[in-house]
Structure 1
Amino acid sequence: MNIPRKPYDLLRSFSALSLLTIVIISTVSAILLSRFLRETLLERNGLLTLEFVQSIAQSQNTSQYFSEPDSAKRQGPLDDFFNRIAHMPDVVRANVYSRDRMVLWSTEKPLVGRQFPENNPELDEALGGHLAFHTGRVAAHGKSEHILFAPEVEEFVENYIPIHGPDGTVVGVVELYKLPRILWETIARGQRLIWISAALGGLFLYAVLFWIVRRASRTIVDQQQALVEAEQWAMVGELAAAVAHSLRNPLAAIRSSAELAVESEDAATRECLGDIIVQVDRMETWIRDLLLYSHQPDGNAQTANLNETFRQSLTGFGDRFARRDVALQVTLPEPSPQVRADPHLLGQVFNSLLANALEAMPNGGQLQVSVERRGRQITLAMNDTGIGLSPEQLASVFKPFVSYKQRGLGVGLALARRIVQRYGGRLELRSQPGAGATAYLQLSLAE
């Protein structure tokens, strides 16, 4: 037993996968940009501090006192130098290390003279001659030099600034603990902007891609439906051609018999036989047009007189409208416009529309026909006061082999729209249950 496969829903699959992908890409991009912004601003802040400290050290020739063995001789110059540094904006603590990691000077006096031999990557990097910086929270840190840190200090920046001697070697390191509030606010604003931009950019990208795929999905569905209809019409064409060829011989025999009977019957009978001959000729014309239609895939350059063609179709329905007690109100423009269409095929379209309007008014009513011109377009509106159509019926009324009549085949309106589209026109139907229906036939004026 073959289980039918469920049709692939392109729009639903794209909606889920694209949303997940865009969210991941936007999140990763925002995280990377936020880190880049933070690291770049912190590094820039450290470089500015480095340039400031080294300029003061060079102007005061402070580097020579780092290697001074007599603490009394080095204390005075170092106090003057580092007091300036300690009063820099945002600085909450300053430590000065010698080459052997001993604290030579500090804003926290209990730290002076202490040595911190444990691993300190930032201090190691600064002793190697490079600027190092580190951020963190006091509660999350385990470094011993963080003792005696003020309780209100939560998030800080450590800048490890190497001090070079006259020969270019590193003689010491200045460690500055800073609370750069403005810097943190700038970073926070920049990160918020990054996240907002990533969210809005992702949303915009998703909306654009969704619109494109939705349009493509609709196009695919329309093309699939068109292929199905094309297959159905190909079958109809083959069947119609076969039936039409088969009907021509019986019709010819009927016409010949009627012509022979006319000569021997009374006047009333001859009139009826004349009607038979006329109707057989009309059927013969329709069959010929149907055969031509099935072998001409594209619209040709024929023109039709709109008023004359419509009146000819209306003549064939005169008695039927009278029997149904349907009042006609027809307003056609003068002079009659010439439209791009085959007269016989256009007549078939009118016949189909009139027949459907008549079927919709079994207990009588009114049929109004009017024509409006806009530029190079002519629109014929045919409004009836019949039973109308539901939205479900209206959605499928032009589909081949879909009919809501007891004896209908579902070909009339579908064939009418196909004929109109062949000549670049449009055929639409608007209706509401109990409020009648209006058919709009739009055609182009002939050149």
Structure 2
Amino acid sequence: MNAASFWSRYLPVRGGAPIAAGEQFDLLRGFSIISLLIIGAVAIGLGSLSTRFLMTESLERDALLSAQFIQAVAIGEIRHHDLSGMQMGAVLAPSVYGMLNDETARNRGRARSEFLDHLAHLPDILLATIYSPERVVVWSTNPALVGRKIEGDTALDAAFTSGGRVSARYNEVQDGRIEQQFIHPPEEFFIENYIPLIDEQGNVLAMVEIYKEPVDLIERVNRGFRLIWMATALGGLAIYFGLFWIVWRASKLLASQQDQLVANKTYGGLVEMSTAVAHSMRNPLANIRTSAELAASMEGQPAGKNIADIVAQVDRMSIWVRDLLLCLRPLKGESEQVDLIGAVHAVLSSFEQQLTGSKVQVAFVSGPMPLVVSHQLLLAQVLNSVIANAIEAMPEGGRLDISTALSADGKTLNLSINDTGKGMTRQQEMMAFKSFYTTKLGGLGIGLIMVRQIMERFGGEVSLSSQEQAGTRVCLSFRVAG
């Protein structure tokens, strides 16, 4: 199997060809842009609708209150001046009634005067005008408009035909509107309200037109606008960042799973090739060793030293093949409760001669500890590998400190193995758990890989820290048996 066929087999494909890195869809970037546009558009739309609704409802509510107030004042003035049977609309237009006695005429005049005074002193008023059914101005706070007939005013006509309650909002004075002749021009927008004065049959006797600049209402509406836009912006940002965080986590998880999938496929291919190569090398190595031994047994062999070197190198390669097959073989063994302290003592006993020969002093003091979840034989393999590495790191002697510590929650038992060897560089420390990476001459670089596989197989962890000329520390974390 050549390299091209291998990678085309184990890398993700689309339409039969490997997916190039540039062709993959960037989920996080795509979501961040699209969701920002969608959430921004929705937030702006909701904010616009909310502010428009607030403005419309506020103006209609203000117009309704003004109409109710003026109509109540009109009824109150009629009752106050004992003008039963009359309507304020008729009082404002004297030609409606016939002859009146003096007292009734005086009461009628007072009622009209007081009603108009109320109109003139309404809060935030810019202009107040009263129209007769003929669209003639019978009274106005701007005396220049009195007696003028307004024609072609669709809003005024609509107010008479619909019974009033027609309101509109303006940002500036319209030159075509004759009646918009304010003594004091408005600072911001102003509103126009039509309030009908009707008789008992519902006929409009007079129409009151009021232009107002509701300063307090404007201030409240602006404050409402600010609150709405602030809430909309904060809500949109909260939704955006919440979804962004979820997609970010999902993207990281997908990327991790994709990397793991590619790694698993690649590792599977390597396992297949390595297993095939290792098994294929066994017989040639055995034949080479047998032939070398036969050649060495011949008398007067001039190349005896070279033959011995061949045997040594073949033996070393055989050890590599054995270790490689051991690493590639699936882990077998069910989890069981193991005495970690007893296992450490047993492994140290097996290394006693090597420790003495290497002049390595061992310090291991530990009290009674709970049993851990592991496997007796696999745990021995882990401890053998770590302690062997520590001894090899101290060729001129040193100290091996082994200690145990129980976590605060009592669920994890940590075993620390510290040596005083030459240590590792930062790069070597980062590469320590990489496959086939080693700093030892003649090593295969699978010892720590096997340690990590076994520890993770039973829910544990392994970590390594090292400093040059200061030694290395390996921490094995085991689950406490429940």
Please indicate, yes or no, whether the TM-score normalized by the shorter chain is above 0.5: yes
Identify the residue that residue 379 of structure 2 maps to in structure 1.
Answer: 346
- Answering whether residue 89 of structure 2 is matched by residue 63 of structure 1, we say yes
Distance in 2, Cα, partners of 1:25 & 1:431: 54
- 2:448: which partner in 1? 413
Change (3 A) 1:14 1:40: same
> 1:319 Cα deviation (Å)?
6.4
Number of the residue aligned with 1:388: 424
Residues 433 and 193 of structure 1: is their aligned pair in 2 closer, same or farther, counting only changes over 3 Å?
Answer: farther
RMSD of aligned Cα (Å): 4.2
Aligned partner (choices 372, 384, 405) of residue 372 of structure 1? 405
Which residue in the other structure is 1:36 paired with?
A: 53
Contact 1:388/1:437 (CA < 8 Å) preserved in 2? yes
Partner SS for 1:39: helix
Aligned partner of 2:20 in structure 1 is 4
Cross-structure match for 1:260: none
Contact 2:90 2:97 in 1 (8 A): no
Identical columns (%): 34
SS of the residue 2:197 aligns to: strand
Tell me by how many angstroms 1:41 deviates.
1.2
**SS of the counterpart of 1:14?**
helix
* Equivalent in the alignment of 1:429: 464
What is the CA distance between 1:84 and its match in structure 2? Answer: 1.4
| Structure 1 partner of 2:129 | 95
Letter in 2 for 1:373: L
In structure 2, runs of 5+ residues without a counterpart are 1-16, 79-86, 99-104, 290-314
Instruction: Indicate yes or no: 2:470 matched with 1:441.
Output: no
Q: By how many angstroms is 1:85 displaced?
A: 1.9
1:149-182 per-residue CA deviation (whole Å, 9 max, x = no partner) reads: 3145443222111222221022332111222211
CA distance in 1, matches of 2:88, 2:151: 24
The one-letter amino acid of 2:62's match is N
User: For structure 1, which segment, 232-241 or 217-226, has the greater mean C-alpha deviation from structure 2 after superposition?
Assistant: 232-241
Q: Give the CA deviation at 1:25.
A: 1.9
Retained in 1: the 8 A contact 2:437–2:445? yes
C-alpha change, 1:401 and 1:104, in structure 2 (3 Å) is: farther
> Distance in 2 between the 1:361 and 1:37 partners?
80
What displacement does 1:443 show?
0.8
Shift of 1:94: 0.4
- What is the CA distance between 1:358 and its match in structure 2? 5.1
Give CA-to-partner distance per residue, 1:38-81, whole Å, 9 cap, x none: 11111111111111112223342212246654799898754432
The corresponding residue for 1:49 is 66
CA positional deviation for 1:407: 5.4
Alignment of 1:98-113 (within 5 A): 98-113=132-147
Residues 18-417 of structure 1: pairs in structure 2 closer than 5 A: 18-59=35-76, 60=78, 61-65=87-91, 68-69=94-95, 78-121=112-155, 124-125=158-159, 127-139=161-173, 142-151=176-185, 153-235=187-269, 238=272, 243=278, 290=326, 294=330, 296=332, 300-314=334-348, 327-335=360-368, 337-357=370-390, 366-374=399-407, 375-385=410-420, 386-390=422-426, 394=429, 397-401=432-436, 409-417=444-452
Give the count of matched residue pairs: 420
How far the C-alpha of 1:379 sits from its partner, in A, is: 0.5
Following the alignment from structure 1 to structure 2, what is the Cα–Cα distance between the partners of residues 402 and 123? 94
Please give the per-residue CA displacement for 1:297-324, whole angstroms capped at 9, x wherever unaligned.
xx61333332343345445666666677
The answer to whether the aligner puts 1:15 opposite 2:46 as a matched pair is: no
Distance (Å, rounded) in 2 between the aligned partners of 1:238 and 1:37: 71
Residue deviations 1:166-213 (CA, integer Å, cap 9, x gap): 210223321112222111111111111111111211222222212212
TM norm structure 1: 0.78
Tell whether the 8 Å contact from 2:28 to 2:251 is kept in structure 1 after alignment: yes
SS for the counterpart of 1:146 is coil
Query: Which one-letter code corresponds to 1:88 in the other structure?
Result: L
Are 2:327 and 2:446, in contact at CA under 8 Å, matched by a contact in 1? no
* TM-score of the superposed pair, with normalisation by structure 2: 0.73
Aligned residues of 2:275 and 2:325 also touching (Cα < 8 A): no
Alpha carbons 1:339, 1:446 under 8 Å: kept: yes
Structure 2 SS opposite 1:227: helix
The farther-off stretch of 311-320 and 178-187 is: 311-320
Equivalent pair of 2:60/2:167 in contact (CA under 8 Å)? yes
- Paired amino acid for 1:64: A
Counterpart Cα distance in 2 of 1:422 and 1:400? 17
Query: For the residues of structure 2 that align with 1:33 and 1:241, how far apart are their CA atoms?
Result: 70
Amino acid aligned to 1:159: N
Contact 1:105 1:112 in 2 (8 A): yes
- Kept in 1, the 8 Å contact 2:127–2:211? The answer is yes
CA deviations on 1:121-161 (whole Å, 9 max, x unpaired) are 36524542141222223356652222243145443222111
SS at match of 1:228: helix
> For 1:145, what is the secondary structure of its paired residue?
coil
Q: Secondary structure at the match of 1:144?
A: coil
Q: Supply the distance in 2 between the matched residues of 1:373 and 1:340 (Cα, whole angstroms).
A: 14
Letter in 2 for 1:446: A
Which moves more between the two structures, 118-127 or 238-247?
A: 238-247
Residue 83 of structure 1 aligns to which amino acid in structure 2?
A: D
